[in-house]
A and B are shown apart, each in its own frame.
Chain A
Amino acid sequence: NAGVTQTPKFQVLKTGQSMTLQCAQDMNHNSMYWYRQDPGMGLRLIYYSASEGTTDKGEVPNGYNVSRLNKREFSLRLESAAPSQTSVYFCASSEQQGNGNSPLHFGNGTRLTVT
Chain B
Amino acid sequence: GENVEQHPSTLSVQEGDSAVIKCTYSDSASNYFPWYKQELGKRPQLIIDIRSNVGEKKDQRIAVTLNKTAKHFSLHITETQPEDSAVYFCAASSIRYGNNRLAFGKGNQVVVIP
Number of interface residues of B (CB under 8 A): 26
Main secondary structure of the interface of A (DSSP, over half): loop
Do A90 and B98 contact each other (CB < 8 Å), given the known contacts A41-B106, A42-B104, A101-B32?
no
Q: Which of B14-22, B44-52, B56-64, B71-79 contacts A (4 or more CB under 8 A)?
A: B44-52
Are B44's CB and A100's CB within 8 A?
A: no
Are A56's CB and B98's CB within 8 A?
A: yes
Are B100's CB and A101's CB within 8 A?
A: yes
Number of interface residues of A (CB under 8 A): 27
**Which of B32, B89, B99 is the one whose CB lies under 8 Å from A43?**
B89
Report the Cα distance A28→B105, complex, angstroms: 28
| Cβ–Cβ < 8 Å partners of A98 in chain B | 99
Closest to A38 in B: B106
Are A59's CB and B1's CB within 8 A?
A: yes
Report the Cα distance A96→B31, complex, angstroms: 14
| Cβ–Cβ < 8 Å partners of A58 in chain B | 101
- Residues of B near any A CB (own CB < 8 A): 1, 31-32, 34, 36, 42-46, 49, 51, 89, 91, 93, 95, 98-107
